[in-house]
Structure 1
């Protein structure tokens, strides 16, 4: 009767013998890329056709005083008896200065929206390509990766769009050095600020998943993260200062969720470490049983 170790070695050898060639890997990767590209094109085309919603409601929403974020701040100001949190109008005008500017902006914005909406499917295709190369226990430990990566991306994107971007746009576009100077913001500049803020927050919110995979690979532990917590706080403050306007309130609003994500990542690294130790102990116990048998 074959021992568990012998069965494992035979299965490992069979798997290595059935490995795909380099050309087969390239062919598989090509089809993953094609399917992902088709998904992006479909979402981008849908966004391009929904021009009124895309620009009037979505893109230009933070440029109007009736935007959801401004209304919530106004309600907060009323509750705190602080009229400064309410705004009746925005202090800038968005304009286009190039002949083909609006058409170009329409196409590029549709492509960006296609990438954003297709991100879960893009990551799923990447995961389908990587997954066959993982060991069974690695696949089991990474179960739900596509869901959580997509969920964190969506949370970060919503936070950037509804919190970080409106604060930055309102501060930068209404800031004046002299009352006689009127702020007339170029459409390209406005869109660049909006997308940069939103996408930056979306990717920053992936910190827990990044720590999860690094902890799985043994490249980081919760002890290291606790040891360098003060350094991490400095880095987080710098990141918040880069992606927000030079306004203390905006930086605090962006810094707090990133700090919360860092603390959550420490907990994730601790759980991963404990499970890794339990798995190694179980393997040692199984091997010891095989030797004694």
Structure 2
């Protein structure tokens, strides 16, 4: 792949990647574990295989758009050669937490621990994506006034289109009788969302839902392809990452809010799951404290 097809913007303040468009015609970029300090959107236009992300494995088909958050571990194992295009962007370039009201992709495309990390691209979405990517490429080569603002506008169109698509596909799945989620699944999701800061063990949730730990473990594995402990850990880590990025709270304060009295235990837990320490995460992903 010729490097002139790759379009990259570097943050002049720190030399970090700000924004990148990377066409690919093989799996060499993704065939080893990735833990990047930026968001990745990987549109596989040809080929198929398996994506390993966090604690689970999922099959993806041709024309899938995969979405990963900073330091979310993932790799692709292909069964048919893949081609496509990747868009990488750093939170300092565009922070999905800060602009949640504008694009609503957090919890849908990104940081959605209950669904596979991809969406199937329709013909209509494909047209939009291609048009937007062409505009982005042209803009990266055009260092005119308000270049970043225009690129962010195109990125928003891409993210909104993908988020709407995923929301539609999730709604369709719910309306198919065979794939109806048992009520217990929704109850489990609700219980995790309400209690992850105070209840960290699988047994806590079995008690809350009045079901045996073994039965709940089986349901979690069948439907989410993850253990219940993995789900809870992922949810805590997502919140910790958000706090590290969005606030100036100390690691000790964040640990305490997430139910950990021992800051060092929490830091080890974070590093095990995110591969970097909380401090390193803050230093490399950036610090987007909202203005008071």
TM-score grouping bracket, smaller chain normalisation:
under 0.3
Q: Which has the larger radius of gyration?
A: 1
Greater RCO (CA < 8 Å, at least 6 residues apart): 1
Which protein is richer in helix relative to its size?
1
Which protein is richer in strand relative to its size?
2
TM-score by length of 2: 0.24
